[in-house]
Structure 1
Amino acid sequence: MTLVFNVSNHLKANAKSLAEEIVDGVLHSIKLEIPQWEKEQAIEMYIAFINFLGDSLFVEEEGVPRTLIEWSKKNAARQVSPEGKISEIIVRYPPTRDVFTDIITNISIEFGLSLKDHSFIIKRINNMLDISLNETVFAFERLSDEYKVETQRELAELSAPIVLIKEGIAVLPLIGIIDSYRANYIMEKVVPKVAELRINYVIADFSGILKIDTDIAHHLHQIGQMFNLLGLQTLTTGLRPELAKTVVKSGINMSEFTTFANVKQALESIK
């Protein structure tokens, strides 16, 4: 126990230099360059890691410092973007284990630790790194889901903007791929907004839609019926042959809507 106590004191007394050795060793191992601020954050985290490790050698319960959890979550957050990859963080863990193992092995030899005590310390380190890895992945998945939801919402807003082009007339240009999320967004958000505009005509322009299936065609039909129930006359434009074919196959009766080739023709028809 005296030898382990000496190792504990050595770890805490040299936490800064050991942390720098770990960070430099990992970066060198995977030939990675990171900004200075990120390197300094990693060093500060490993200082806390090593101090925590030194104290944990005398307790049975395993755990991790709060700074390690926060650092893991921050690493995950930086990867949450269209170009971000969680693998860029995950690949750092194996070399981190290797560097830690080399450092602890050298310290164990220097202080004459038994194989049992050496294995105990390595196990503690691996447990802390495993928790950090799990927190990183969990945070990435959670934040990615939140990012996808926000992106869906933003795309839904962009895919169905309401354009008031003249008094009493608005155009609803449908853009991109209309899926069930966007169709529901139109029903829940766009239709009420149209009602607030106090208009008489809505021109639903399909020319910007890439494709629709029969389910989405039914959704769009329901939206048109909602406009009618609000006392608005719905004009549809831009139904390309392939889109019109899908509408026909879905069994939807389009006779209740007035259809034109383009928005210009629809506008000219309104007296």
Structure 2
Amino acid sequence: MKPFERFINYTTDHTDELAATIVDRVCEQLPEEVPQEEQHQALIMYKELWKSLGESLKDDQFKIPEALMKWSRSNAAMMTEIGGKISVIVDRYPPTRVIFSEVLVEVSERLGLSLKEFARVNQQVNTMLDISLNETYYAFERLSELYRSDTEQELAELSAPIVPVRDGIVIIPFIGEITDDRSYAIMNNVLPRIAEMEVECTITDFSGLVSVDDQVVRSLHQLEDALSLMGIEVITTGLRPELAQKIVSSGMDFAGTKYYATVKQALESLL
């Protein structure tokens, strides 16, 4: 049997041993300790990788093991869930390549592979690792974007909750920071809910804002216009001096809005 055939048989017959060698050596090289569950998942993936490598070399057709792609995506998901950085995963690939090359050299020398055959095998392994790295990076980007969208949606709802106080009257306390995205989400979430509640008057309270800028003024104006078009009276409370100055200097028409220092004063005027 030729050395290359022996190499193919060896990689498919000793997947457990080869996978364990890779995982153990990579873990020794990393500065941080890898959790047991991650090591277990890596073992499963590397077993499939060695098996797929042998089959690809035998059939002379490059194959990407699904376990490798699943493992790459799961790494990205894990980092997204804990709010980690993609660099934590990316930093593991260079030592992994080195360990793979070392193991390939050891097996190739033992089985008598030629330099050309070794280069072919090593190139295929590096291609697999490149694809895994790309899949991890792109999955992290996709999941991060979804996470940001979900978080922004939750923050928008928390930034402007609707608090009913009696029939036809609700308070909308603006909390935190109003960004462009959050302002858009508020308009698309708060207004439909108010329409369903048969509201006659809203008290928009700005005392809980963290910062005040032109975006807050635009949001206030847009909300007032939308509520007025719906036939709802708007009362504004909690305007700090800097926000009042911005409203005056903005040149926007806020003539339809009543202003009170506190929600308590607004409620007293209504009740």
Q: Which amino acid aligns with 1:153?
A: Q
The within-5 A match list for 1:67-86 is 67-81=67-81, 83-86=83-86
Q: Which moved more, 1:147-156 or 1:243-252?
A: 243-252
CA apart distance, 1:200: 2.0
The offset of 1:210, in angstroms, is: 2.0
Deviation at 1:31, TM superposition (A): 3.7
SS at match of 1:173: strand
| Matching residue's letter, 2:109 | I
What do the CA deviations read for 1:140-185 (whole angstroms, capped 9, x no partner)?
Answer: 0011011101100000010010000122211000011111222222
So what's the TM-score if we normalise by structure 2? 0.95
Partner of 2:260: 260
CA distance in 1: counterparts of 2:192 and 2:113, whole angstroms? 73
C-alpha displacement at 1:40, in angstroms? Answer: 1.3
Structure 1 stretch 207-216 or stretch 89-98: which is displaced more?
A: 207-216
One-letter code aligned to 2:122: I
User: Aligned pair count?
Assistant: 271
TM-score w.r.t. length of structure 1: 0.95
CA-to-aligned-CA distance 1:26-79 (integer Å, 9 cap, x gap): 000114323322211110110110011111113444331111001100000000
> Residues 11 and 50 of structure 1 are in contact (CA less than 8 Å); yes or no, is this contact kept in structure 2?
yes
Question: Are the counterparts in 2 of residues 203 and 266 from structure 1 also a CA contact under 8 Å?
Answer: yes
Quote the Cα distance in structure 2 between the aligned partners of 1:219 and 1:173.
Answer: 13
Question: Secondary structure, in 3 states, of the residue corresponding to 2:96?
Answer: helix
1:105 & 1:193 partners in 2: Cα distance? Answer: 66
Aligned-residue CA RMSD (Å):
1.5
- In structure 1, the partner of 2:235 is 235
Q: Read off the aligned partner of 2:87 and give its amino acid letter.
A: S
SS state at 2:205 partner = strand
Matches within 5 A, 1:92-131: 92-131=92-131
Aligned to 2:225: 225
CA distance in 2, matches of 1:59, 1:188: 56
Aligned-partner residue type, residue 183 of structure 1 = S
Stretch deviating more after TM superposition (216-225 or 65-74): 216-225
Identity of counterpart residues, as a percentage?
A: 43
Which whole-Å CA distance do the structure 2 matches of 1:93 and 1:2 have between them? 32
2:182 paired with 1:192: no
Aligned to 2:162: 162
Amino acid at match of 1:130: D
Q: Is the 8 A contact 1:8 1:55 kept in 2?
A: yes
SS in 2 for 1:149: helix
